[in-house]
Amino acid sequence: MAVFLQSLISGVLIGGVYALIGIGLTLIFGVMRVVNFGHGDIMMVGMYLTYLLFTLMGVDPFVSVLISFPLMFLFGGFLQKVFINRVLNAVAQNQILLTIGLGLIMSNTVMLIFTSDYKILTTSYSSSTIQAGGGVSISTPLLISFLITAAITAALGWFLMKTDTGQAIRATAQDRDAAQLMGINVSRMSVIAFGLGAALAGTAGALISPTYYIFPQVGGTFTLKAFVITVLGGMGSVVGATLGGILIGVTESMSAVYISSGWKDVVVFVLFLLVLLFKPSGLMGKSRT
């Protein structure tokens, strides 16, 4: 029972971070109908940014979120304005290929600069745990990152629901043409949405860097996981992505414990195929095509 609880809790905690990556992807998809295949690589850039801030200036990874969030927002906005914006009306395949290409450029540029060695970011609390009673212990960095994730998700929810810009973003996601007719600057909203998506991915990268290996190719797996999460939750749904993230986190940690850690990603991908087979509109969503 203790083992079960243990893996459930760590699954939920890591799932929170996955949710952040998934929300970014789903936001971009919702507003632009572009599936961003470079999403994991954007997260990877966030990891290296955190690593640099930590090794060069001694900024704590969790504090560095304050710096990396705006920087990654600008980076995302730049990518949207220079590249993605040009293919908004192109066929879906070209959009996918473009983002794959951008992802390859990011990961291989980072590889040229930092080599493909695995980097580890060791903080004083990297391996510390909190005893929760009943033989269950909680990893401190995972707990902190989960709390930060929850705060960011809540703030994002408030931003999307309550502010004018947030409402304009949601309107653009609902119907681009109608939003434009209502006087919403949809191309500005696209830049903001992509910036936010990149910032969320970058933040997720910062949050997992104390507990994860940092290497240039780390993004690929996360891109795929982000897809699994968004498809699970229904493409374009922020609430769905949050639940999907936690579900994937739990699935992963359970299968690591009860099957083997080598197969945990396989379990996630098989789950993905099963969802496509039986409920392609996602566990939460209605299909919108």
Q: Which residues bind other proteins (CB under 8 A)?
A: 35, 37, 83, 86-87, 90, 92-94, 96-98, 100-105, 108-109, 111-112, 220-221, 224, 227-228, 231, 260, 262-263, 265-266, 269-270, 272-273, 276-277, 280, 289
CB of 73 to other proteins, least distance (A): 22
Distance of closest approach, residue 46 Cβ to other proteins, in angstroms: 19
Alpha carbon distances (Å) from 201 to 206, 224, 242: 9, 13, 13
Min separation Cβ 104 and other proteins, Å:
3
Question: Which of 202, 219 has the CB closer to other proteins?
Answer: 219
CB of 258 to other proteins, least distance (A): 15
Task: CB nearer to other proteins: give 83 or 159.
Answer: 83
Residue-wise burial string across 153-182, b where 16 or more C-beta atoms lie within 10 A, e elsewhere: beebeeebeeeeebebbbbbbeebeebeee
CB of 100 to other proteins, least distance (A): 6
Instruction: Note the Cα 196 to chain centre separation in Å.
Output: 11
Query: Please, which residue, 103 or 166, has the CB nearer to other proteins?
Result: 103
Q: Closer to other proteins by CB, 130 or 273: give it.
A: 273
* Residue 274 falls in which region: left (phi positive, over 0), alpha (psi -120 to 50) or beta: alpha
User: 4 or 263: whose CB is closer to other proteins?
Assistant: 263
